[in-house]
Structure 1
Amino acid sequence: MEHSVELTRPYSLIHFVTYQLRAAIFPLFIFVILGTTLVIDLPFLARYDWLLIFCLLMQFVMVKTGLETVDELKVITVFHLIGLLMEIFKVNMGSWSYPEEGLFKIMNVPLFSGFMYASVASYLCQFWRIFDVKLLKWPSLYLAVPLATGIYLNFFTHHYIWDFRWVLFGLVVVVFFRTKLTFFYNSSRVHLPLIVYFFLIGLLIWVGENIATLLGAWHYPDQQDGWQLVHLGKISSWLLLVIVSFLIVANLKVVKEKIT
């Protein structure tokens, strides 16, 4: 079993939060470097390029130290590419923008932006291992994979046809209504409806998005003349994106458990 030995002993809410922060080490690192590079003007390269270098170094350190496995790195890389592709499309559709210069940009999108998506997958992988996550009544891949694909494609197609997000929400409820996520807490297993977990993580990402835009990672159109709170409607978008990320990670873990 891969979870930390500490989790087999009683621990307090403080310990629980500490372990959650440990699982979120990559997202927290991104906030740190966003804040640092905002107040410190680093030489030779643009800020976005330094952010890419720092993220690459962090990824190397996490794998080298065993904080992430090679299999997890593969999943994180997939989500990095999925996120980068969506960034390129969304930026060029005018949904948001990266106003600063940089050498390592593709179609106005800095390459470090993919790490912001990858950091979500990193958190899920860390959370899974540290808390020994198990899934009860996980739906068939024949349901989960097409649903995840439909969610991802809707981020693109809603610019041209009807936005199906509320239909997709309904399908999420139908497909995952019986699914529960279980994890260790205080020497026992906590059972949490997976749909509730999706919402909580989506809400946290929305909070993180407000921090990231405040630190100048990117701008929404209504933030061009000054920072404003990101619209609450974005929570629904992040919730759906969390589902895609979770399904990628979960399917890796479920398949790996069956093999082992």
Structure 2
Amino acid sequence: MTGQAKPNTSILIIGASRGLGLALAEEYLNNGSNVVATVRGPGRTSLHELQDRAAGHLEIETVDITIPDQLTSLHGRLAARRFDLLFVNAGVANAANETAANVSTEEFTRLMVTNALSPLRVVEEFKDLVSAAGTIAVMSSGQGSVANNTRGGFEIYRASKSALNQLMRSYAARNAGDPRTLLLMAPGWIKGTGVGGPNAPLTIGESIPRLVRTIDAQHGRGGLRFLDYRGEAVPW
């Protein structure tokens, strides 16, 4: 990007109190962007500590994406704003050994609502706040790839991310004339995340800067892509 204007200078990140979302906010701040980022509930988080160091470039909002009325209220508070990038990061994991044979209906519903339905509700609610040349990105996972599922494990989490991918494809089909770039991002297998565990090969610091570069490289391209943090296509 040397010698060119940075493509994403106004960022809205949904789900940034910790982990990957927090790292995304920090990376974009380090790149000179202005960031609005959300937490789910009251109380001080690591995002607030980042805000203390951000010299006014980070604003924090509160929203639980599983509650539609809260999405509507947040949209109202941001209605006058326009963003180059909307990144929906919020999501949850579950026990690796839970399968369709033993998962409770409540746990299955929790993952599907949080990981698949709610992120698309965010996209639908906030798409008008993203500039016509902007990007709408959602945090997916390589585990959402049906083609790559040869080992099983995290069965319900995989299903929720596959459902997310399918819903995003349906969204893209319904909005085929929209010039905005649509991205499903797979950050890699990362230590310290709900799915990653201690044996994962990547750290957040190894994944997120490359993921941000990949997002920025897609600026203005339009269409929908399922990419990993290295910019490589992930099989559906």
TM-score after normalising by structure 1? 0.27
Which is bigger in relative contact order (C-alpha 8 A, separation at least 6)? 1
